């Protein structure tokens, strides 16, 4: 488990990890670092990998991306899938390339699973089984996902207890893993092996001291997205790609709710409320991840993302760690 830097790790080249919940100010802090340090940004965001999904993902603008080299943005069609394993492979390669150019990798984003996989390793989970997955989906279409949740509860009560009865994606994968391995889900996730560190990590977590203030930020940002044409963006996506609600891209916060609105399953005010609620729930999960990192990573520095002068505080923290 990562702890404070050992003498061996201290000799490794640095890599900065800048994480935080949505609307915590990560992009602004990253660009501030780019103005004073020779960094290249690696996106740690499972939504920014998709082309043509710009407004709803709060993707850095063309001007922001031009101000500093960015990586792992716009690399996939919304019809494709990305994984933590591929992220680790891509990121380790990019970190080595950036360091070879005499620059510092700056990993920025809120997909906490990716950070965990990079530092702690990936669980040895079985590959997806198309036939079994189709069997589970057919059963859910016939009987409903709560029935599949009940089936999971019979096989693995602990896994089922952590899932909502209508959480189709997670129930499906949990059932698949348990039926393929014949073991509880926790046993499969416990088996992991981390790759040897090639860099000395400098992890910084932006955490709000007041959730209500962060929630207000999230609401303002979602309204800004709507005014910027978020719904029109999803209309264009549906026109150019073969999209279904089960695609990873369409499970991104806001996009699933926009699809419901465009399919006539809710009105505009309900779409707005659902989108804001889903974004707040995402922020809650991200903060929970960071709490776990605080307990397990002895080198994590937490900064209040609501304080004045945050960008300068982040810069000073990083510069101190680089010395």
pLDDT tens digits, the chain, 323 residues: what are they? 455 555 556 789 999 999 999 999 999 999 999 999 999 999 999 999 999 999 999 999 999 999 999 999 999 999 999 999 899 999 999 999 999 999 999 999 999 999 999 999 887 677 777 888 889 989 999 999 999 999 999 999 998 998 989 888 889 989 988 888 888 877 766 666 667 789 999 999 999 999 999 999 999 999 999 999 999 999 999 999 999 888 999 999 999 999 999 999 999 999 999 999 999 999 999 999 999 999 999 999 999 999 999 999 999 999 999 98
pLDDT at 1: 47
Listed residue (28, 19, 71) closest to 49, CA to CA: 71
State the pTM of this model: 0.82
Strands 39-43 and 104-109: parallel
pLDDT at 196: 79
pLDDT at 194: 64
The 3-class SS string of the chain reads: CCCCCCHHHHCCCEEEEEECCCCCCHHHHHHHHHHHCCEEEEECCCCCCECCCCCCCCCCCHHHHHCCCEECCCCECCCCCCCHHHHHHHHHHHHHHHHHCCCEEEEEECCHHHHHHHHHCEECCCCCCHHHHHHHHHHHHHHCHHHHHHHHHHHCHHHHHCCCCCCHHHHHHHHHHHHHHCCCHHHHHHCEECCCCCCEEEEEEEECCCHHHHHHHHHHHHHHHHHHCHHHHHHHHHHHCCCCCCCHHHHCCCHHHHHHHHCCCCCHHHHHHHHHHHHHHHHHHHHHHHHHHHHHCCCCEEEECCCCCHHHHHHHHHHHHHC
pLDDT at 198: 92
Query: Phi and psi for 165 in degrees, rounded to 5?
Result: -65, -20
């Amino acid at each position: 488990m990562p702890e404070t830097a050992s003498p061996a790790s201290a000799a490794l080249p640095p890599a900065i990890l800048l994480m935080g919940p949505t609307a915590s100010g990560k992009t602004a802090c990253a660009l501030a670092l780019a103005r004073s340090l020779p960094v290249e940004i690696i996106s740690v965001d499972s939504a920014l990998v998709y082309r043509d999904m710009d407004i709803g993902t709060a993707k850095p603008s063309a001007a922001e991306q031009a101000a500093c080299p960015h990586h792992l943005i716009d690399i996939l069609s919304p019809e494709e899938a990305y994984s933590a394993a591929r992220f680790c492979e891509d990121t380790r390669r990019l970190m080595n390339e950036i360091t070879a150019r005499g620059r510092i990798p700056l990993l920025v984003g809120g997909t906490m699973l990716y950070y965990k996989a990079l530092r702690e390793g990936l669980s040895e989970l079985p590959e997806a089984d198309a036939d079994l997955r189709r069997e589970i989906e057919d059963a859910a279409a016939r009987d409903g996902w709560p029935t599949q949740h009940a089936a999971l509860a019979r096989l693995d009560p602990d896994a089922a207890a952590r899932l909502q009865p209508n959480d189709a994606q997670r129930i499906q994968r949990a059932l698949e893993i348990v039926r393929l391995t014949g073991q509880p889900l926790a046993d499969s996730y416990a088996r992991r092996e981390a790759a040897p560190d090639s860099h000395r990590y400098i992890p910084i977590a932006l955490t709000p001291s007041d959730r209500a203030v962060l929630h207000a930020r999230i609401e303002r940002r979602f309204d800004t997205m709507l005014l910027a044409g978020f719904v029109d963006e999803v209309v264009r996506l549906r026109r150019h790609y073969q999209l279904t609600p089960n695609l990873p891209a369409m499970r991104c916060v806001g996009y699933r709710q926009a699809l419901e609105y465009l399919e006539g399953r809710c009105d505009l005010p309900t779409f707005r409320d659902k989108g804001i609620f889903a974004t707040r729930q995402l922020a809650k999960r991200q903060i929970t991840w960071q709490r776990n990192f605080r307990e397990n990573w002895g080198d994590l520095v937490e900064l209040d993302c609501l304080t004045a002068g945050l960008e300068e505080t982040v810069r000073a923290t990083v510069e101190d760690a680089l010395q």
